[in-house]
Structure 1
Amino acid sequence: MSATTTTRVALITGGSGGIGRAVAERLAQDGLAVAVQYAGNKARAEETVAAITAAGGRALAVGGDVADEQAMSAAFDAVEAAFGGIDVVVNTAGIMVLGPVATFDLDALDRMHRTNIRGTFVVSQQAARRVRPGGAIVNFSTSVVRTQLPSYAAYVASKAAVEGMTLTLARELRGRDITVNAVAPGPTATPLFLDGKDEATIATLAKATPFERLGTPEDIAEVVSFLAGPARWTNGQVLYANGGLA
């Protein structure tokens, strides 16, 4: 059999930076061929691909809006054409806008929900149709669903929706030998998390876990690697990857 039919293949949305890039690089290290999806930053996606290729892996970049079903259908087509199929889909693409409910900008709410809810749903829909037996779908929530910090209500609402669709999809794929789980990171040192926070706030959040540090993208990628590979008996779950945050 050719390499295109024997190598496991992963598609990572939002794979050009932050957690997404760490996940792409980790899955490539695990031996998967990797497709790095990007929305607007083609150059960063190609940097991720170049880094994976330089390390001996196989990768390509695919563009498109995760909330656009035609764009995502085309992206999945491109990955299947290049690598022969898809085994793992990881939805790291997301945006975060913070603010209290009383004054929250509803246009920002709509933008965030379009990417975080509709985008995850569109990609999960394609994954449910195409992922091969033995595969895995990994969506992204947040530990703030449980910690309920002020100013996170709109973001948490979008991620709670992701948890709901993830757990339901796991049951819908009965008999397909496909796991569906969500990862809920705690405070993690990414541009998405750090943007707009002062040093005192970051220091306080870093001290919140027993490890007294922020998580790293690589910490989260390790959990995704587990779910994408050996974790065949972990299904329909939300894994809180947060270093022991209460």
Structure 2
Amino acid sequence: MSQKLAGKVAIVTGASTGIGAAIARALGAEGASVVVNYNTDQAGAEIVVADIKKAGGNAVAIGANIAKKESAQAVVDTAIDYFDQLDIVVNNAGRHEVATVEDFDEELYRRTFETNVLGTMLVTAAAVKHLKTGASIINLGSVTTHFSMPGSSVYTASKAAIDGYTSVLANELGPRGIRVNALKPGLTATENAVANGIPDSDFAKGFISRTPLGRLGTTDEIAKTAVFLASDDSAFVNGVHLLVAGGLR
């Protein structure tokens, strides 16, 4: 059976755990060589790399705080230095902290926006000079821009910025044959969420009660959607904000 991404090279930021790790593994399973970016969790990133290689793929890990221009550039340089090309960019790295409007402070804003927005923009700006016709940029958004959860004002604002950025780049880069889409998960049962008891919490039950499919998403479901957006299966999909949230909106 042919692999959908054979011969392609991908970057996945924030890929040491959770959704990012699942996306990196899924891209690797479909034949892509994967640059697995992490900020602090080197051990987790090395496990993802080992898993991809064990399954017959190719991958390399790089530690970098993508909110810094030089570090974002280093992630892209790694793809070129190791694999000599770049075809897929998955801007997954992000921070999510809950805080009421009274608890808001400047540092919360900076932590969130520097990773979620500035990091996405820096990686994309560094990557785009290497992307050719048929390339795909996938920006991780969130269902919270539709389901406006109390306490998530800073996070939701950062993901609304990603929505706007995605739409502009789809128009800007589309004429060059580069597609840009937003993948917007709902509440997902990542390993960290499970370890912290979130799937059984009242918080999760509130999400589930408003989700027509009546459950949380899985990292594999998000990853399979990323593979679709990265592959030629979505060759005429551009500027889409794709909710993967069980019908929650």
Encode CA deviations 1:159-217: one digit per residue, 9 max, x unaligned.
Answer: 10111111111111143111001111111112565658572222332333222110011
Contact in 1 for aligned 2:36/2:45 (Cα 8 Å): yes
TM-score (norm 2): 0.92
**Aligned positions of 1:156-175 closer than 5 A:** 156-175=156-175
CA-CA distance at 1:48 after TM superposition? 0.3
1:112 aligns with 2:77: no
Partner of 2:230: 228
Q: CA deviation at 1:245?
A: 0.9
State which drifts further: 128-137 or 147-156: 128-137
Q: Which amino acid aligns with 1:233?
A: F
Preserved contact between residue 96 and residue 192 of structure 1 (Cα < 8 Å): no
Q: In 2, Cα distance between the equivalents of 1:72 and 1:135?
A: 19
Counterpart code for 2:71? A
The corresponding residue for 1:33 is 33
Q: Is the 8 A contact 1:27 1:34 kept in 2?
A: yes
Give the Cα separation in 1 of the matches to 2:102 and 2:72. Answer: 35
Report 1:197-216 matches (<5 A): 199-216=201-218
Which deviations, in whole Å up to 9, do the C-alpha atoms of 1:7-45 show, x marking residues without a partner?
111110011110001001111111111110111111110
Q: CA deviation at 1:237?
A: 1.4
What TM-score, normalized to structure 1?
Answer: 0.93
Q: 1: distance between equivalents of 2:20 and 2:32?
A: 15
Ranges of 4+ aligned residues in structure 1 off by more than 6 Å: none
In structure 1, what is the Cα distance between the partners aligned to 2:185 and 2:82? 31
In structure 2, give the amino acid aligned to 1:118: L
- CA distance in structure 1 between the partners assigned to 2:211 and 2:68 by the alignment: 37
Give the Å deviation of 1:74.
1.8
Cα distance in 2, alignment partners of residues 64 and 176 from structure 1:
29
Aligned twin of 1:3: none
Q: RMSD in angstroms over aligned alpha carbons?
A: 1.7
Q: Which residue of 2 aligns with 1:137?
A: 137
Q: Percent identity?
A: 38
- List runs of 5+ in structure 1 lacking aligned partners: 1-5
The CA distance in 1 between the partners of 2:169 and 2:193, in whole Å, is 28
Gaps of 5+ in 2: 1-5
CA deviation digits over 1:114-168, x for unaligned, max 9?
1011111111112222223211000011111011111111100001011111111
The SS at the match of 1:67 is coil
The secondary structure found in structure 1 opposite 2:213 is coil
Given that residues 76 and 123 in structure 2 are in contact (C-alpha distance below 8 angstroms), is that contact kept between their aligned partners in structure 1?
A: no
Residue 88 of structure 1 aligns with an amino acid whose one-letter code is I
